[in-house]
Structure 1
């Protein structure tokens, strides 16, 4: 019999590995003992550090907030052999995102992104450097420019109105059959945002799909997003990479990545076919209304400058970044916005009164109406303050730096807890209350969420802040205004909405958002609204 099959021999090997790694870690960290380091939170374990305290069931932002109540706004932890800097104050965030922006412009590398994200060709997860800067420039100036977002407006409007029409038809169908009129809005928002982002990225590809194919690609996107939040042993303790093979995580990553890649490649092949049939490339001054077409004009040039990735990989990875980055954040934001309004009926009534005043009940909401819907915009800001879609922004120090006078070694993981910062009683009056009015007057009237005001960081800050902020804002505000204009909402039994969050990278509500819908407008308006393209 092979001795390695004996459980006590396996346990001895594992214990020996842990002791050796811990001793090595202690030797390395001892070299920094004389440096001015921030104090470390208590309770860490040998080798694994504070990992067990950050692995659930409580969401990460809650665990870090509880530690901040005990250890202060800035402290360090150990995530495996790595040191981690936890920031829970706007002053600390400013030092990281402004003073040390370049130093903290690297993303931690995980096995999930390596296997599913084309070996870090997804620029949202690639290291800071020339490739990242080029792709960021392309995304800002071509894919997510004001001109591009404006061009996407009619499509977004049409898709939203098509959803309202479908919900209205479903309501009357259920009423006619005496079925319950309860719907899961979180799922509806998820399907809407997936459809919007697929259309934005790849054009009208779903028009060629039947219902089964459409559900297949929606499931592929959902699974990809879910697997991105999976961390392996080697992500935390690289020396224990051999344990990953026992869990099957890498194989699951490869399978998930392959499924989404097949979908992206099919879309890309179709785009190339259409371009070839047209007999010419798009002119530089022309701007296609989907990202994949836009990338066909630039991907070859990028691949020549950075030959580590071919043009197809760059195109697919960029489209993948945009699609994945937009789906979860918009779904989460819309779900929390409706949840907060259902628990604060006075605010919901005020939104609807504003809509009736500026839009009326003889037509549907248009994007041009949004500039007049200042309270609706304030509701969105207050939602992002209380329930940011990315409550903890994680980065890594690419070089040594100094934060609040303390030495931060290269390789330190950075955890900026926006959820805690945005509930700081030193900054926000009655920080736990849902009060959109705070953004209508005084110091907060002109504040935005683009990462330039360090008290409000729902999308991160610095040069690696989310590049799709304005697309997400314009879309979610329009969806929120439209659904509140066209439907009365209430919980099934009049009870308060459960506001418990779930563990994961995004701040997803733990339970479905089930609501009862009742149309507010004339049936004719639902039929005559914009048609989906």
Structure 2
């Protein structure tokens, strides 16, 4: 674990911090628990607890610990008691059977910038306002009738993506960036009827850098989260930096909203603030997770060209190359669906689901979970568990091709595969994200023959990952597309 900024460790500050925390621990006994039925877990050092074991890839570190201490595990993260869940049955218990006890959120300090946690659907307490906002979005944006009605919009955005790649005339394509722009414009057009970026514009890369900066910053360890008594000091400046991120987004959204919708009135100002927070959730969460999933899927297909060939053959046999893929075709493409499922299993976009907060009297698997504990579901550990999946570290789409296996989905009911969560806190935009990723993937495979640059063989493709709230490819995927001569 690193408490550094820009690669510079602050030894003096760190020493002062340790002394302060030791004094707090001595005189207030903060963080002490007196429950005899806690889940098992590793021993911990004074003050820091188990923070040092998290490392740069906490999802992997926690998975290794779960192999030792079990699928429900206690950790001490500074003064915070955390419970890590790493099995399908325990995840089902927390997210579905006992979701009343675990529906709250353990809010990171960065999300308190500008009071974002009080108005964000992602971080709000599940109260009346939260239920109203969720129902509103589901009815008007994410329900099946609403999605069917907006199908032509998604088709148009994917057509723009295909046209952009064709226009490169054989130049290398940054697939993640192209997918990001497509999803970004889909979201902005859905909400505000305008394209937000051009594929080659500097603003596109700047916005992607901004979104990833937020994701990466939020995924880094923050002293304020582990020692809430120190949060007002914001020792690492994380909340201040997030406030700057939010201001950039709010300024951008305010301009877009004002142009499209509102006059300069007090009511308009309040409405703009609410809409800016909705847009923030949608842009930040939706654009990065969808584009990262598409990039990982294409990377795995280029890494194992026989799977790319099989997906292309399926499309040729079912649809052909004389018309575009439609959303209604996806159900007739079982191998393509299996590719997406296997991508989400091997590379869940959010490997550690956003943290839940335990309510009073909470239990999991017979263990006591103290009130206000941080509860984290390690989806990555579940998806890489050889007791759940055969050859879990290998990309094998065929595992989803059997009669029963085809029924397994990632919509929150099959707890072997819950990359977007489950229960009342499941990703609200899941249905939209799935439709656009499936359509982009099918269209890219149908429209082009793909290969890696001349100096990169399939076996040499870098599949390393970079951890933030989402996990993205450490090296952006670049490939060369040759348009299908018939299409």
TM-score by length of 2: 0.89
Checking the alignment, whether the CA contact within 8 Å between 1:233 and 1:243 is kept in structure 2 is: no
Which of these residues, 249, 253, 257, is aligned with residue 268 of structure 1? 257
| Aligned pairs for 1:353-372 within 5 A | 353-372=313-332
Which of these residues, 379, 385, 399, is aligned with residue 424 of structure 1? 385
Cα shift at 1:135: 1.5
For residues 518 and 421 of structure 1, do their structure 2 counterparts lie closer, same or farther at Cα, with a shift above 3 Å needed? same
Cα shift at 1:146: 1.2
- Give, in whole Å, the separation in 1 of the partners of 2:278 and 2:17: 40
> Is 1:189 the counterpart of 2:179 in the alignment?
yes
- Give, in whole Å, the separation in 2 of the partners of 1:455 and 1:73: 13
Corresponding residue number in structure 1 for 2:423: 462
For residues 236 and 27 of structure 1, do their structure 2 counterparts lie closer, same or farther at Cα, with a shift above 3 Å needed? closer
SS in 2 for 1:445: helix
For residues 226 and 265 of structure 1, do their structure 2 counterparts lie closer, same or farther at Cα, with a shift above 3 Å needed? farther
Deviation digits for residues 203-243 of structure 1, max 9, x if unmatched?
A: 21549999566666555545444444455321221122355
> Is 1:118 the counterpart of 2:104 in the alignment?
no
For residues 468 and 160 of structure 1, do their structure 2 counterparts lie closer, same or farther at Cα, with a shift above 3 Å needed? same
Corresponding residue number in structure 2 for 1:322: 282
Checking the alignment, whether the CA contact within 8 Å between 2:211 and 2:288 is kept in structure 1 is: no
SS in 2 for 1:402: strand
Checking the alignment, whether the CA contact within 8 Å between 2:178 and 2:199 is kept in structure 1 is: no
Which of these residues, 67, 73, 76, is aligned with residue 75 of structure 1? 73
For residues 335 and 356 of structure 1, do their structure 2 counterparts lie closer, same or farther at Cα, with a shift above 3 Å needed? same
Corresponding residue number in structure 2 for 1:41: 42
Corresponding residue number in structure 2 for 1:85: 83
For residues 373 and 244 of structure 1, do their structure 2 counterparts lie closer, same or farther at Cα, with a shift above 3 Å needed? same
| Aligned pairs for 1:89-488 within 5 A | 89-115=87-113, 118-172=116-170, 181-204=171-194, 206=196, 211=201, 220-241=210-231, 243-245=233-235, 247-273=236-262, 310-393=270-353, 394-488=355-449
- Give, in whole Å, the separation in 2 of the partners of 1:233 and 1:166: 44
| Aligned pairs for 1:17-32 within 5 A | 17-23=20-26, 26=29, 29-32=32-35
Cα shift at 1:521: 3.1
Corresponding residue number in structure 1 for 2:4: none
Checking the alignment, whether the CA contact within 8 Å between 2:73 and 2:83 is kept in structure 1 is: yes
> Is 1:504 the counterpart of 2:468 in the alignment?
yes
CA radius of gyration, larger in: 1
SS in 1 for 2:75: strand
Unaligned runs of 5+ in 1: 1-6, 173-180, 277-299, 304-308, 526-533
Cα shift at 1:23: 3.0
Corresponding residue number in structure 1 for 2:7: none
For residues 216 and 491 of structure 1, do their structure 2 counterparts lie closer, same or farther at Cα, with a shift above 3 Å needed? closer
For residues 194 and 230 of structure 1, do their structure 2 counterparts lie closer, same or farther at Cα, with a shift above 3 Å needed? farther
TM-score by length of 1: 0.82
For residues 12 and 508 of structure 1, do their structure 2 counterparts lie closer, same or farther at Cα, with a shift above 3 Å needed? closer
Cα shift at 1:25: 6.8
Deviates more, 1:380-389 or 1:217-226: 217-226
Cα shift at 1:105: 0.8
Checking the alignment, whether the CA contact within 8 Å between 1:164 and 1:486 is kept in structure 2 is: yes
Checking the alignment, whether the CA contact within 8 Å between 1:201 and 1:322 is kept in structure 2 is: no
Unaligned runs of 5+ in 2: 1-9
Deviation digits for residues 446-504 of structure 1, max 9, x if unmatched?
A: 12211111111110111101111111111101101111111112222324222221121
SS in 2 for 1:364: coil
- Give, in whole Å, the separation in 2 of the partners of 1:208 and 1:456: 35
Cα shift at 1:26: 4.9
For residues 521 and 114 of structure 1, do their structure 2 counterparts lie closer, same or farther at Cα, with a shift above 3 Å needed? farther
For residues 224 and 422 of structure 1, do their structure 2 counterparts lie closer, same or farther at Cα, with a shift above 3 Å needed? closer
Matched residue count: 473
- Give, in whole Å, the separation in 1 of the partners of 2:428 and 2:383: 21
Checking the alignment, whether the CA contact within 8 Å between 1:117 and 1:317 is kept in structure 2 is: no
